[in-house]
Structure 1
């Protein structure tokens, strides 16, 4: 029975798209109305089938878990952001100094290209 419900939902969804494009000579209200009506019916049928109920239950459980998360305060968020930016600046300086040091060692000392 669930497979029939899922097939009906897919057929309704496709029928909505077909109606939207086949009613191009008519007004936009009729085109969009048929598409939205078919979409709403397809969603309603999908959520009466077992996969739809499972999806709804998963969403409900996920929302409950989000409520259990201990979110950082504004001060903690700003501090962590500044730590990340500071670390990025320190790493950029370190990599730039390493690059310039290796450039000096290779090109000036070993190869003697820059005099």
Structure 2
């Protein structure tokens, strides 16, 4: 099942489900703002209900199933990554900071040289 391609054919019913899911999520957000006079709990419940209905509709669509398969595969690939040790991460960070410092000094020096050449030698403004 892991290496089987995901069916990505969008039928009109699938598009309707996605549209309804978007509408449900938007309705939850709109309900949150329209219920401004109500308590925070009521407003939050309206928002969460709209989002849950939207997620539920997406879950049953082909697009949602494709996204779930993609997410599972991404998690599986993330587990295969060899993460650096703390020592390696600190060394890499030190190299990056060192490089940034060297580049900052280089750009500052270049700026000062160009300033001297342009303003003092060419234009003669700083006499």
Instruction: Give the secondary-structure state (helix, strand or coil) at the position aligned to 1:71.
Output: coil
Q: 1:47-86, CA deviations, whole angstroms, 9 ceiling, x for partnerless residues? A: 1100011111111111111111111111111111111222
User: How many residues end up aligned between the 2 structures?
Assistant: 114
Partner residue in 1 for 2:19: 7
Note the C-alpha offset of 1:44: 0.7
Partner residue in 2 for 1:32: 44
TM-score by structure 2 length? Answer: 0.68
Note the C-alpha offset of 1:10: 2.4
* 2:92 aligned with 1:92: no
Question: Unpaired segments of 5 or more residues in structure 1?
Answer: none
Question: Unpaired segments of 5 or more residues in structure 2?
Answer: 1-12
Tell me which protein shows more helix as a share of its residues. Answer: 1
| 1:82 paired residue among 77, 84, 94 | 94
| 1:59 paired residue among 44, 49, 71 | 71
Q: Would the alpha carbon gap of residues 61 and 100 (structure 1) be closer, same or farther in structure 2, given more than 3 Å must change?
A: same
Partner residue in 2 for 1:69: 81
The answer to which of 53-62 and 15-24 deviates more is: 15-24
